Amino acid sequence: MSNLFIFSSDLRIEDNAALYNASLDNTGLTTAFIFNPAKWKNHNDSPLKIKFQLNHLQKLREKLIQKNICFKVIHADGIEEEPLKILNLAKELQSAKIFINKDYGFNERRRDSELEKLADHEGISLNLFDSSIIDPRNIKTGTGNFFKVFTPYSKVFRNLLTSEDLNIDPEPKTQEISNFQNDEIPEYDLEEENFKNSIELYEVGSDNVHKKFDSFLQDKISDYKNLRDFPSLDSTSKLSPYLTSGMLSAKYCLKELLSQFEDIPGTGQYSWMNEILWREFYRYIIYHFPRVSQGKSFSEKYDQLIWRQDATDFEKWCQGKTGIPLIDAAMTQLNQTGWMHNRLRMVVAMFLSKNLLIDWRLGEAYFMNRLIDGDHASNNGGWQWSASTGVDAAPYFRIFNPITQSEKFDKNGEFIKKYLPNLQSIPANSIHNPSKDLRIENNYPDMIVDLKESRKRALDAFSSI
């Protein structure tokens, strides 16, 4: 007999509520990871992200085995197969209890609901644990509704937050018995050469993850507010891949942040805490408004918006061949490393959805398929914010000018030249929008769209709704 814990986006042994509670009975504990390429493909999960998770899982498996905790792999073909596969393993192990940390996406909630029915029929209890810092059902407006705007949400979050909310569960207890054979992690090859090279950039294992977090708090947090928008600087935390896959928990980050720094507006730590709260807010939104997990605009009226169907322009955006250096450098960074600076995510998303007037859902899917930190809630929230279709979105008439953004945040063109080496010889005062002659001389294309005319086209399209 053995309790069963199922890994999801919580690939850690510390601050893992479901895993810790599963270990308390000391009747034996089996953990399982679901190897599900069909689901990953359907959800547009990046192959780089999956490889990253499996590399980390190898380290995690070793730690579990040291604690006499069994590790199994469940093979499934699509998320709809997962409930029965989990149940079958539970029956094989003679488990009386299954433990899972909640995911808030539409498909994941439906899966857990189906699993609960199947388990109940077999007399097995499904124990679900909240994975948010504060239960999303407990954060409400003064009238008892759910928030749709970040700032008042964040104020209430800060007011509700207690030390109890930041309690960190210890590592699971070492088990006295383990009667089951441990599974090996299946092979998963990266076909793309860029990703084969960039996977080495991302260290795995809890020791490395915590070292990276501690280094950020010590070395970068004080300047975070002032420097975070400059893509040529190494001034952001670079923790998003670890947060997305649950190698590091948002709760742990907040607890450590608030134990070392005061939450004072205008400081680096206040700004970074806001980034954690944005993450929580987008999870809160997909929980309370499941339509955004179903490919729909948060703002229903924008489901009527007629987007341009232009495969050529979209492909040039994907490949970083728009003729706008900052856009092209940002997309090259994404394609080469599987990561993009947050300021640039907004710039390229707004360019696609406004200047090119191409459906934000295409960009959302492309990001998910490339990003090592592709998180459904945050990615969807960010894209809908940029496209003005989402919760607390930028008003439709707010359209970033990518040239102005480039001049402001990459003044000397250092970021541009790093990812577009063919523009190395162009002087800083011309790098943001090279002249016709400089473009020809450096084999760089013309802009695929006129910024002023395309801005007017977007305003007309959005204002007509």
CATH of the domain at 259: 1.25.40.80
- What confidence score (pLDDT) does residue 392 get? 86
Contact yes or no for 329/418 (Cβ under 8 A): yes
Distances (CA, A) of 303 to 133, 194, 300, 357, 388: 32, 36, 6, 14, 12
Last residue of a domain, one of 131, 153, 187: 131
| 453 shares a domain with 326 | yes
DSSP state of 370: H
Q: Are residues 324 and 395 in the same domain?
A: yes
- First-to-final CA distance of the chain: 60
Residue whose structure tokens are 């569960």: 169
Give 149-176 as a DSSP string.
SHHHHHHHHHHH--TGGGPPP-PPPPPS
For the whole model, what pTM was predicted?
0.95
Structural domain contains residue 312 = yes
Same domain, yes or no: 284 and 334? no
pLDDT score, position 248 = 97
Q: Identify whether residues 245 and 324 lie together within a single domain.
A: no
A 10 A CB-CB count for 33 gives: 21
- Given this model, what pLDDT does residue 107 score? 92
> What pLDDT is recorded for position 27?
84
User: Looking at the 3D structure of the chain, how many domains does it have?
Assistant: 3
| Below-50 pLDDT ranges, the chain | none
**CB-facing half-sphere around the CA of 3: CA atoms within 13 A:** 24
Same domain assignment for residues 371 and 441: yes
Beta-sheet pairing, 97-101 with 125-129 = parallel
d(CA 70, CA 63): 10
274 lies in a domain? Answer: yes
pLDDT, tens only, 359-403: 999 999 999 999 999 999 999 999 999 999 999 888 889 999 999
Residue 191 within any structural domain of the chain: no
pLDDT of the residue at 228: 97
What amino acid positions are annotated as catalytic residues? 275, 278, 307, 342, 360, 383
**Residue 448 maps to which CATH number?**
1.10.579.10
Asked if 41 and 86 sit in the same domain, the reply is yes
- Report phi then psi at 6, rounded to 5: -110, 120
pLDDT for residue 363: 98
Residue 429 falls inside a structural domain: yes
Q: Which domain holds residue 59?
A: 3-131
Residues 22 and 105 in one domain: yes
Q: Print burial letters for 132-154: b (CB count within 10 Å at least 16), e (below 16).
A: bbbebeebeeeeeeebbebeebb
Question: Of the residues 75, 109, 131, which one is the last residue of a structural domain?
Answer: 131
- Give yes or no: residues 123 and 148 share one domain: no
Q: Is 194 contained in some domain?
A: no
Q: Is 127 in the same domain as 14?
A: yes
Q: Is residue 77 part of a domain?
A: yes
Cβ-based neighbours of 428, under 8 Å, separated by 6 or more: 411, 412, 413
Q: Are residues 284 and 378 in the same domain?
A: no
Tens of pLDDT, residue by residue over 1-43, are: 789 999 999 999 999 999 999 999 978 999 999 999 999 999 9
Whether residues 312 and 409 share a domain: the answer is yes
Same domain, 15 and 71: yes
